[in-house]
Amino acid sequence: MYFFDPHIHMAARTTDDFRAMAKAGCVVVGEPAFWMGYNRSGTNSFYDYFRQLTEWEPKRAANYGIRHFCWMGVNAKEAEDVGFSREVIALLPEFLERPNCLGIGEIGLHKCTRNEVTTLLELVELGMKTGEQLLFHTPHLEDKYKGTRMILDVLRTDSRVDRSRVCIDHCEEHTIRPVLEEGYWAGITLYPTTKATPQRAADMVEIYGPERMLVNSSADWGPSDPLAVVEFMFAMRRRGHGESLIRRLVYDNPLKFFSQSRNFHFTPPQTT
């Protein structure tokens, strides 16, 4: 079965992973701009990273028959420095026009500070001015519930936000319901220890249904699995769920969500 991984950090992965993903049926990846493991030292570092996501990674992916799309933004961890964030935000319009750019992401909150919210508001403002899709990172662990509710509060007060074009990612059991109830796409991330497992993701699908659900690996520079979406497919099959439901979650849904971006041009693989 062909699938998307709509949130994965391929810049941190080797071509071994592209190869394994391609062999498993991955046809599209979505790569949001994120924290590299330590804070960047200047805007040039961000500029080069944005070039990597818009120029180099699509080439690496293409060698394995995978289409690479990306999101541009200031990640939540580095958003605490508002002045620096503003300098990076000034770089974004150039990259939002790149042919593989889907929108603004992954933006969000980390420790839910005032500065993080200030940066977030300015990123949302840019997104509304240029008509972007938005991808939100919700905080880790004990900050997740509070941060998710705060992100929803921010978006609720902006009437320009088209909720059908927004994904609130890294949802878990205590945050997924408000995200879905307010009309957003809910991303479930299959990542060890700090996020969900394939089994728990399957549980959430059974409880809430497949509408506006996305699953992803968010595989990055830490211990993580670029085949996590395949593990999810396996978990669903083991429970007896049908192929059309599984396909909806790993292919049709991300295709529908990505198709709302002006730069998303994708020819589905031929099945005959």
Partner 1 sequence: MKTPMRATEVLDREFLEIRARLIDIAAALDRIDRAEGPVGGDTRLELIRHAVQILAGATPHRAEGVQSLFSLPYQDDWRKGYGL
Q: Which residues bind partner 1 (CB under 8 A)?
A: 112, 114, 117-118, 121, 141-146, 149-150, 153, 172-175, 200, 203, 205-207, 209-210, 239-241
Torsion of CA 119, 174, 199, 69, to 10 degrees: -20
The least CB distance from residue 141 to partner 1, in Å, is: 7
Choose between 16 and 142: whose C-beta lies nearer to partner 1.
142
Choose between 223 and 269: whose C-beta lies nearer to partner 1.
223
d(CA 6, CA 251): 10
The least CB distance from residue 98 to partner 1, in Å, is: 32
The least CB distance from residue 12 to partner 1, in Å, is: 27
Choose between 29 and 89: whose C-beta lies nearer to partner 1.
89
Closest CA to 102 of 236, 266, 247: 266
Closest CA to 28 of 57, 56, 49, 50: 57
Q: How many residues does the chain have?
A: 272
Q: State CA 30 to chain mean position distance.
A: 7
Choose between 80 and 143: whose C-beta lies nearer to partner 1.
143
The least CB distance from residue 37 to partner 1, in Å, is: 24
Phi-psi region of 218 (alpha: psi -120 to 50; beta: other; left: phi over 0): left
> Do residues 73 and 104 touch, judged by C-beta distance below 8 A?
yes
d(CA 206, CA 183): 18
Choose between 77 and 195: whose C-beta lies nearer to partner 1.
195
The least CB distance from residue 239 to partner 1, in Å, is: 6
